[in-house]
């Protein structure tokens, strides 16, 4: 018997007291100095990322319910980087963290099945992954098989946090409905499928909704009542905690906010100057968790 992903995530959020997630974006050039020694070539860099990542996960594990490793920075380091990604997914799970793999994969049929196998399935797979819905249900359903069978989840890109998001996602039909709302309806319908909605009423099919668009987030909250929103854009991308709050239900549930750079590279921030890097990360993670918990009435 496998637990439903949405249930597991919401339970973890309650246990830690804040709906937040730390993004693991290992830009080698931003790692603390110690990890930059002898750090030439992909193998050495991937090893540095692996060691740094383990220590980072140990720091944040008591503070936050989930982490979101960003596959791109690992892939940049070739096969050794991918090995480090897989290692850190496993280590995070061992530390009791939920892992939301930010891979934004998308393809169809058996190719999408291969991606689901690669990134979601089995003991080495993440708890959930991000997927891109441009290909329609064919691109998402193969992932849902694994979600059902193994208690995993997906977050479908609905409204991304970047400045040019409206150029595609605000494309509107004759009634004024925009593409991101149309995609939201598809996500809501897919998420209602058999075996996906947990005991708390949320689906294992979630949505990515950028914090930089609070008005859109409020509309999406109504269109996708059963979706957990994964909310990027806080901190470095300019969104405030109250912008993030727009993605939550009135009871303060239903979303999880991500911060990457502002937490994991806190040692580069003036306000933590002179502090040990792990101390800086811990402080920044706690400040982030409190800021979001307060904004959604949970602290």
Q: How far is the CB of 289 from a copy of itself (least distance, A)?
A: 23
DSSP H or E stretch at residue 229: strand 229-231
For residues 128 and 5, the answer to whether their CB atoms sit within 8 Å is yes
* Residue 83 phi, psi (nearest 5): -60, -40
For residues 69 and 97, the answer to whether their CB atoms sit within 8 Å is no
Q: How far is the CB of 62 from a copy of itself (least distance, A)?
A: 27
Q: How far is the CB of 240 from a copy of itself (least distance, A)?
A: 19
Task: Specify the residue, 94 or 201, whose C-beta has the smaller distance to a copy of itself.
Answer: 94
For residues 61 and 96, the answer to whether their CB atoms sit within 8 Å is yes
For residues 220 and 208, the answer to whether their CB atoms sit within 8 Å is no
CB atoms within 10 A of CB 296: 23
Task: Specify the residue, 183 or 245, whose C-beta has the smaller distance to a copy of itself.
Answer: 183
Task: Specify the residue, 158 or 253, whose C-beta has the smaller distance to a copy of itself.
Answer: 158
Find tokens 């039909």 and name the residue.
173
- What positions carry a catalytic annotation? 104
Task: Specify the residue, 44 or 179, whose C-beta has the smaller distance to a copy of itself.
Answer: 179
CA-CA-CA-CA torsion sign (65, 71, 72, 78): positive
Provide the CA 63 distance to its chain's centre, in angstroms.
Answer: 16
Any bridge partners for residue 20, and if so which?
257
Residues that bind a copy of itself (CB under 8 A): 25, 27, 70, 72-73, 75-76, 78-80, 82-83, 86, 104-112, 114-115, 117-119, 124, 132-139, 157, 160-169, 171-174, 179, 182-183, 186
CB atoms within 10 A of CB 228: 29
Q: How far is the CB of 230 from a copy of itself (least distance, A)?
A: 14
Whole-angstrom CA distances from 165 to 37, 77, 175, 294 are 39, 28, 20, 28
Q: How far is the CB of 145 from a copy of itself (least distance, A)?
A: 15
Whole-angstrom CA distances from 42 to 48, 80, 161, 219, 261 are 10, 7, 30, 44, 22
Task: Specify the residue, 171 or 297, whose C-beta has the smaller distance to a copy of itself.
Answer: 171
């Amino acid at each position: 018997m496998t637990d439903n992903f949405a249930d597991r995530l919401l339970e973890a959020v309650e246990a830690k007291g804040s709906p937040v997630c730390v993004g693991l974006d290992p830009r080698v050039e931003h790692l603390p100095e110690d990890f930059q020694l002898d750090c030439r070539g992909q193998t050495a860099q991937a090893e540095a990322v692996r060691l740094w990542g383990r220590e980072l996960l140990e720091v944040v594990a008591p503070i936050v319910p989930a982490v979101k490793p960003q596959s791109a920075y690992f892939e940049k380091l070739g096969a050794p980087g991918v090995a480090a990604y897989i290692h850190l997914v496993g280590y995070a799970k061992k530390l009791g963290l939920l892992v939301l793999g930010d891979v934004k994969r998308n393809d169809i049929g058996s190719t999408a099945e291969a991606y689901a196998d690669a990134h979601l399935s089995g003991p080495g797979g993440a708890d959930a992954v991000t997927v891109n819905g441009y290909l329609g249900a064919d691109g998402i359903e193969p992932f849902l098989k694994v979600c059902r069978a193994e208690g995993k989840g997906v977050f479908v890109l609905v409204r991304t946090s970047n400045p040019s998001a409206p150029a595609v996602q605000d494309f509107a039909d004759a009634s004024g409905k925009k593409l991101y709302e149309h995609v939201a309806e598809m996500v809501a319908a897919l998420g209602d499928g058999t075996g996906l909605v947990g005991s708390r009423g949320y689906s294992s099919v979630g949505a990515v909704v950028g914090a930089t668009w609070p008005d859109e987030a409020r509309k999406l909250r109504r269109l996708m009542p059963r979706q957990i929103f994964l909310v990027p854009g806080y901190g470095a991308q300019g969104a405030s905690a109250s912008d993030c709050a727009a993605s939550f239900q009135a009871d303060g549930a239903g979303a999880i906010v991500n911060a990457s750079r502002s937490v994991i590279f806190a040692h580069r921030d003036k306000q933590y100057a002179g502090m040990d890097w792990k101390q800086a990360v811990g402080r920044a993670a706690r400040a982030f968790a409190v800021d979001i918990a307060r904004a959604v009435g949970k602290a």
